[in-house]
A and B are shown apart, each in its own frame.
Chain A
Amino acid sequence: MSEFQIVIQSFLPVYTLLFGAVILLILDWTIGKKPVHKHIMPSISIITLIVAGYMVFIRPKDPSSFPGNPPLFYFGEFYAYFSLLAITAAFVIVLSAWKDMELELSLGVFYALLLIATAGILIIAGAMNFIPLYVGFEVLSISTYAMIGFKKKSRAAAEASIKYFLLGALASGILLFGISLFYGATHSLQLTSAVNVLNVIGTTKPNAYGLFVMALLVVGVGFKIAAVPFHVWVPDVYKGSSLSVTNFLAIGSKAGGFAFVFKIFLLSLITIKSGWAPVWAVLAILTMIVGNLAALPQVSVTRILAYSSIAHVGYILIALVSYAHGATEMATIGALYHLMANIFMKGTAFTVVLIVVYQTGGDTLEHFKGLSKRDPLTTFFMTIALLSLAGIPPFAGFFGKFFLFYSAVLSGDTYLAIIAIMMSAVSVFYYARIIYVMYFQEPSEANTETKTYPRFFILLFALTIGNIALFFGALFLTPQLVEFGSKVAQELAQFII
């Protein structure tokens, strides 16, 4: 294969997504005003996503064959996994936006933005140099800014978009400053260059470079993944943006953010892990505690889920710490698995909130009262999602937490596992509260709407099946999972010299 062919083949998923976006735009200009467009646009997005997913599988076999010295991209297992995560997440968003965005004009633009954002995650997952990494990160961010503000008539969405934009731009600026310091320390923007330069043991300066870089990068990425104390935007933005976009923030954008975090911390700054591990440990503890405790007094289910999503970030951050302390395989498995489980759990939960908002016009616990009587199936799916979020078997959330906590135990950070377990116990309170309200309370007079939405049903069904299948997958295919985890871990570790 020629160099050009390899490049084309490697970029095929990204090209597919962009091609889909362009098609959507052309359609938007031509048939954008006809009522049928609200079905055509999501359908095309779905086809594009499926093709892109297929393209991920047929990428070149040898990931190191990408041209350039050193290559700017590396399309290995890590890339493949996060691409599939992003595509699955986008898939969920398309299906939930199908109804949510129905009444908007120029829908093609929305789906195009979604596809471009997905492409951004793919670029992050594949990049081995700070330039494409940062540009991919900005592709994701800019598309997300536009998506949040997409419902122009909605004041809440406008406010959410300006908040997310201003904080995002600030975080991005700080991140950029951090990258510039990285460049100053290593004289190169290649991610792996730090591994060599900062690997000088016994001299304080390389470590000092790394620590300084770390301080700025933590702030930059902390915003994207919503780690405490950079989580403050989460409740407002999740509440303000329309729920399908919220869903994207919770599952898609988060996967991209974590790909970014892993790229930087597990690949690039791994040699100064003794510097950043305590920082992430503190942030993980704070994130778990604040996320879970702040969710307790909430009445809006969206906000409860927003805080729960913060808490789950805390659980995943455990993986960073335990990776640094030696439990590389288990931490990798835990993080990757939990991100996938997150898609199924959060995807279901936010979709159900969307349905309830459509049925009753609100998302507080009041509106969830007696949901089981109005819409038993939806309630059932929501219950499974919540149980899964709480980490109760036989749902994927159990193994997500199990692997993460177990990795903490393996690496000797038992205190993290203990705090995490305690906080998980706290989390059961607010999940159980929703379940209780749905099953055991009478619906209020006003909320008697029983309309159901078949499209959502298919989505919820698929997500729930995925959730349970993921659990049993972990149960029965543990050796394969371990194998995959060690493969990814090795892929990350192969650059350390």
Chain B
Amino acid sequence: MGWFLEANFILIGIITILMAFGTLSTKKVMRAAAFLLLTLVGVALTYLFLGFEFLMGIQITVYAGGILILFLFSVLLTGHEEFKMDLEFAKENIVQILISILLFFTLTALMLSIYGNYQLTGNELVLQAQTKGLTQDFSVALFSHFNYVLPILGVLLFSAMLGSVKLVLREEEL
């Protein structure tokens, strides 16, 4: 059973990374948005594997369903640009590519060495707790301990709404 889960996770992980790379390398912006959708779904599946199915739902509905629509609209409104990730691109961005590769290796090295082999007993503990109603615990925490933060999140969305409405509306339409 364990190896099956692991294999599945690895598969989904690899697909997610490939999709993420796809968003950056595909020809058209519209396709990039489609790849992003797949990446987000992949990340959502990761959440499932990590024992938090509620966030998977949120990820798919809000992110893939909501934010992605925004992207599609903005792609439609701002026109298309052809993009090619070819040798020319590599030559132009040699420094950036180097930086990214270095970043990946230093980051992964640090992450694995510092957080790897992480408290396996603790791991067991929580994943078992999940079976006893994780979503319930989560909502209790959200609405008791963190209930004073929710209004602030509301403020954030409010200001984002204000700003985007102001910026997007044509003034003549007012």
CB distance A146 to B159 under 8 Å?
yes
Expressed in whole angstroms, the minimum distance between the Cβ of B103 and any Cβ of chain A is: 11
- What residue of chain A has the Cβ atom nearest to residue B160's Cβ? A142
Contact, CB under 8 Å: A208 / B163: no
A132 to B149, CA, bound (A): 6
Q: Is the CB of B174 within 8 A of A106?
A: yes
Q: CB-CB < 8 A to A123: which residues of B?
A: 152
B62 is an interface residue with CB less than 8 A from chain A: no
Stretch from A133-141, A263-271, A276-284, A464-472 that touches the partner = A133-141
Binding site for A on B (CB under 8 A): 110-111, 113-115, 118, 145-146, 148-149, 152-153, 155-156, 158-160, 162-167, 171, 174
Contact of A205 with B114 at beta-carbon distance under 8 Å, contacts A142-B156, A146-B159, A146-B162 already known? yes
Return A59 CB to nearest CB of chain B, in Å. Answer: 15
Distance of A146 Cα from B165 Cα, bound (Å): 10
Q: Which of A109, A142, A181 contacts B166 (CB 8 A)?
A: A109
The secondary structure that dominates the A interface is helix
- A167-199 to B contact mask, C-beta < 8 Å, 1/0: 000000000000001001100000000000000
A418 lies within 8 A of chain B by Cβ: no
A209 to B153, CA, bound (A): 29
Per the 8 Å Cβ criterion, residues 113-132 of A in contact with B are: 113, 116-117, 119-120, 123, 129, 131-132
A149-B110 contact in complex given A116-B159, A123-B152, C-beta closer than 8 Å? no
Question: For the complex, what is the distance from the CA of A7 to the CA of B152, rounded to whole Å?
Answer: 14
User: A142 and B163: CB pair below 8 A?
Assistant: yes
A23 at the interface (CB under 8 A from B): no
**Complex formed: what's the CA distance from A117 to B159 in Å?**
9
- Chain A residues lying within 8 Å of B167, measured Cβ to Cβ, are 146, 149-150, 152
Q: Check B149 against A135 for contact (C-beta < 8 Å).
A: yes
A-B contact pairs, 25 of them (CB 8 A): A7-B148, A25-B162, A32-B174, A68-B148, A72-B145, A72-B148, A73-B148, A105-B174, A116-B158, A119-B155, A129-B149, A131-B146, A131-B149, A132-B148, A136-B152, A139-B152, A142-B159, A142-B160, A146-B159, A152-B171, A181-B115, A184-B115, A185-B114, A209-B114, A212-B110
- What distance in Å separates the Cβ of A246 from its nearest Cβ neighbour in chain B? 18
Contact B153 A143, beta carbon cutoff 8 Å: no
Cβ of A270 to closest chain B Cβ, rounded Å: 20
A18 to B159, CA, bound (A): 10
Question: How far in angstroms is the closest Cβ of chain B from A170?
Answer: 13
When chains A and B are docked, how far (Å) is the Cα of A35 from the Cα of B12?
A: 59
Question: Which B-chain residue is minimally distant from A216 (CB atoms)?
Answer: B107
Contact in complex: B146, A106 (CB < 8 Å): no
- Chain B residues positioned under 8 Å from A135 (CB to CB): 149, 152-153, 156
Given A72-B146, A105-B174, A209-B114: A145 and B163 within 8 A (CB)?
A: yes
CB-CB under 8 A for A132 and B166, given A68-B145, A116-B159: no
- List of 4 A-B pairs having minimum Cβ-Cβ separation, nearest first: A146-B163, A116-B159, A143-B159, A109-B166
Q: Does A306 sit within 8 A of B, measured CB to CB?
A: no
Query: What are the residues of chain B within 8 A of A185 when measuring CB–CB?
Result: 114-115
Q: Which of A64-94 contact B (CB under 8 A)?
A: 68, 72-73
Q: Which residue of A lies closest to B150 (CB)?
A: A135
The chain A residues found within 8 Å of chain B, CB to CB, are 7, 11, 18, 25, 32-33, 68, 72-73, 105-106, 109, 112-113, 116-117, 119-120, 123, 129, 131-132, 135-136, 138-139, 142-143, 145-147, 149-150, 152, 181, 184-185, 205, 208-209, 212
Inside 8 A of B163's CB, which chain A residues have their CB? 109, 113, 142-143, 145-147, 149
In addition to A116-B155, A150-B166, A185-B114, 9 A-B residue pairs with Cβ atoms within 8 Å of each other are A11-B148, A106-B171, A132-B148, A132-B152, A135-B152, A139-B156, A142-B156, A143-B163, A152-B166
A73 to B145, CA, bound (A): 11
CB neighbours of A143 from chain B (8 A): 159, 163
B155, A139: Cβ atoms closer than 8 Å: yes
A18 touches B114 (CB 8 A): no
Contact partner of A208 among B114, B152, B158, B159, CB < 8 A? B114
Residues of the B chain whose Cβ atoms lie less than 8 Å from the Cβ of A7: 148
CA distance A145 to B148 in the complex (A): 25
Q: In the assembled complex, which residues on chain A have CB atoms less than 8 Å from the CB atom of B174?
A: 32-33, 105-106
Report how far A329 CA is from B162 CA in the complex, Å: 41
Tell me how far the C-beta of A65 lies from the nearest C-beta in chain B, rounded to whole angstroms: 14
> Would B149 and A18 count as touching, CB distance under 8 A?
no
Whether B155 pairs with A18 at a CB distance below 8 angstroms is: yes
Task: Please report the C-alpha to C-alpha distance between residue A391 and residue B124 in the assembled complex, in whole angstroms.
Answer: 60
Q: Give the docked Cα–Cα distance between A251 and B153 (Å).
A: 25
How distant is A348 from chain B, measured CB to nearest CB, in Å? 28
* B96 CB to nearest chain A CB (Å): 13
Closest residue to A146 on the B side, CB-wise? B163
Nearest residue, chain A, Cβ from B153: A135
Give the chain B neighbours of A205 by CB distance below 8 A.
114
Q: Which residues of A contact B153 (CB under 8 A)?
A: 135
Residues on B with C-beta less than 8 A from A120 are 155
B93, chain A: closest CB distance, angstroms: 16
* Cα–Cα distance between A105 and B146 once the two chains are bound (Å): 38
Q: Which A residues are in CB contact (< 8 Å) with B166?
A: 106, 109, 146, 150, 152
Complex CA gap A142/B153 in Å reads: 12
Give the docked Cα–Cα distance between A294 and B113 (Å).
Answer: 40
Interface centre among A73, A135, A145 (most CB of B within 10 A): A135
What's the nearest-Cβ distance from chain A to residue B163, in Å?
3
Closest approach, in angstroms, between the C-beta of B6 and any C-beta of chain A? 21
* A68-B145, A152-B171, A212-B114 as given contacts; A109 in contact with B162, CB under 8 Å: yes
Rounded to whole angstroms, the CA-CA distance of A212 and B171 in the bound complex is: 47
